[in-house]
């Protein structure tokens, strides 16, 4: 009996996915997707990283992509961030189809890669200013953006004047997240923003992201294998496993439909069934 329950849960999700595709066209048009991936596949030599990823991210939501190491989270985010070309399938970001509209999409997104580092010989402020100069059209705007970044990072001016090479991992990550958020892009992509951080630094980063999401109403996609973080930050979550999305819903619904006590347990139930 225990074996059949997860299968039933998965079947429910299949139905939900089918329903999504069967939604009448008029209803589909009313829903504005910031990101849409349909059956996206990606191979690296003999390894198939994505075996057919399908997901839709709504405008203004904080969307979580969760899964174990090697599930395809980073590849999916890199495809959305225009850095990697998919082999098959359809990718649309902010109304632009990829990969042919990469230049247009880059103007509208900002991306924090996993383990992104700072320029160690530049100060914290200069790290912010460099990215601000890339995004801004004028020097004045660049300084305004960098100041916004400094505000988001919440670090004192004394700290910002120090070279990034002297920063702790937590401080460096705050600057890295701030430089991603300060551009006020229509879509922010954060790949494991708290990975490798201590509890205090991770909490601080989560607060930065949550405050930003609440105030700016920007669409944010976060990947993580920290289920608690995703539960705390995200409106909806997609579970990715072995290059496929196996479920998409709000964290509370995922927990509810899988009869789990938390998202971690829900994920194990779904993945456990898939592993069969």
Partner 1 sequence: MVTIVSKLYPVMWKELKSMIRDLRTLLVIAVLPLLIMPLMGLSSLYLQQYQQGVVVIIDEDRSWALLGGHNVSSHDLISKVVTALKANNFVVRVATNVQELKGVYFDLKVVVPKGFVVNLTSLTRLAYVKIIRTVGSVKAYDADRIVQNELSSYSKYVSQIKTLYLAGKSGLKVDVESVLSPIKVVVGIVGPGGVAASPAEEFRTYLARIVAFSLIFVTTPSIAYITDSIIGEKERKTFEAVLATPLPRQALLLGKVLSTSLVGLMAGVSDAVGLILFFVLPSLAYGVNVLAYLTADLVAIHIVGVYVSILASLALVLPAMIRAGSYRSSQAVSLAIISIASIIFFICLYVDIPNLQPSIKYPLYVLPYTHVVIMIRDIVLGAPIRALMHLGIALAESVALLALSVKMFSDERIIYLKT
Judged by CB under 8 A, does residue 94 bind partner 1? Answer: no
Judged by CB under 8 A, does residue 90 bind partner 1? Answer: no
Q: Which of 3-11, 22-30, 105-113, 249-257 is the region at the interface with partner 1 (rule: CB under 8 A)?
A: 105-113
Judged by CB under 8 A, does residue 106 bind partner 1? Answer: yes
Closest approach of partner 1 to the CB of residue 66, in Å? 21
**CB of 87 or CB of 211, closer to partner 1:** 87
Residue 59's nearest CA partner among 221, 177, 192 is 221
Instruction: Give the total residue count for the chain.
Output: 276
Judged by CB under 8 A, does residue 217 bind partner 1? Answer: no
Closest approach of partner 1 to the CB of residue 49, in Å? 11
**CB of 74 or CB of 231, closer to partner 1:** 74
Closest approach of partner 1 to the CB of residue 212, in Å? 17
Site string for partner 1, 231-260 (x = CB under 8 A): ------------------------------
* Residues 6 or more apart whose Cβ sits within 8 Å of residue 185: 108, 109, 110, 218
φ, ψ dihedrals at 11, nearest 5°: -60, -40
Q: Is 148 exposed, middle or buried (0-12, 13-18, 19+ CB in 10 A)?
A: middle
Cα gap 210→51, rounded to integer Å:
32
Site string for partner 1, 132-161 (x = CB under 8 A): -xxx--------------------------
Judged by CB under 8 A, does residue 46 bind partner 1? Answer: no
Q: Is 205 exposed, middle or buried (0-12, 13-18, 19+ CB in 10 A)?
A: buried
- Out of 85, 100, 169, 217, the only residue in the binding site for partner 1 (CB under 8 A) is 85
Cα gap 242→71, rounded to integer Å:
5
**CB of 58 or CB of 133, closer to partner 1:** 133
Using CB under 8 A, count the residues that bind partner 1.
34
The alpha helices in 56-168, defined as continuous H runs, are: 73-80, 102-106, 124-135, 139-153, 157-160
Cα gap 169→5, rounded to integer Å:
43
Q: What is the DSSP letter of 138?
A: S
**CB of 14 or CB of 119, closer to partner 1:** 119
> Tokens at residue 211, please?
């405050």
Closest approach of partner 1 to the CB of residue 117, in Å? 4
- Out of 32, 107, 151, 184, the only residue in the binding site for partner 1 (CB under 8 A) is 107
Cα gap 247→226, rounded to integer Å:
17
Residues that bind partner 1 (CB under 8 A): 44, 78, 81-85, 103, 106-107, 109-113, 115-122, 126, 130-131, 133-135, 163, 176, 179-180, 189
């Amino acid at each position: 009996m225990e074996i059949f329950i997860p299968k039933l849960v998965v079947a429910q999700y299949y139905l939900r996915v089918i329903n999504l595709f069967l939604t009448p066209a008029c209803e589909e048009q009313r829903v504005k997707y910031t990101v849409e991936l349909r059956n996206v596949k990606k191979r690296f030599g003999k390894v198939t990283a994505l075996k057919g990823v399908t997901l839709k991210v709504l405008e203004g939501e904080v969307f979580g992509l969760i899964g174990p190491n090697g599930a395809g989270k980073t590849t999916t985010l890199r495809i959305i961030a225009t850095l990697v070309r998919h082999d098959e399938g359809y990718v649309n970001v902010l109304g632009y189809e990829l990969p042919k509209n990469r230049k247009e999409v880059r103007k509208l997104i900002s991306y924090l890669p996993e383990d992104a580092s700072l320029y160690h010989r530049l100060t914290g402020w200069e790290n912010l200013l460099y990215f601000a100069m890339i995004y801004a059209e004028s020097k004045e705007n660049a300084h305004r953006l960098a100041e916004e970044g400094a505000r988001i990072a919440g670090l004192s001016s004394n700290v910002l004047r120090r070279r990034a090479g002297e920063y702790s991992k937590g401080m460096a990550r705050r600057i890295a997240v701030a430089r991603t958020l300060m551009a006020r892009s229509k879509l922010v992509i954060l790949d494991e923003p708290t990975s490798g951080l201590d509890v205090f630094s991770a909490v601080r980063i989560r607060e930065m992201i949550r405050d930003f999401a609440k105030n700016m109403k920007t669409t944010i996609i976060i990947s993580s294998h920290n289920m608690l973080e995703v539960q705390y930050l995200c409106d909806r979550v997609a579970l990715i496993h072995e290059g496929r999305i196996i479920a998409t819903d709000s964290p509370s619904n995922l927990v509810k439909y899988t009869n789990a006590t938390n998202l971690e347990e829900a994920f194990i139930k779904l993945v456990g069934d898939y592993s069969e």
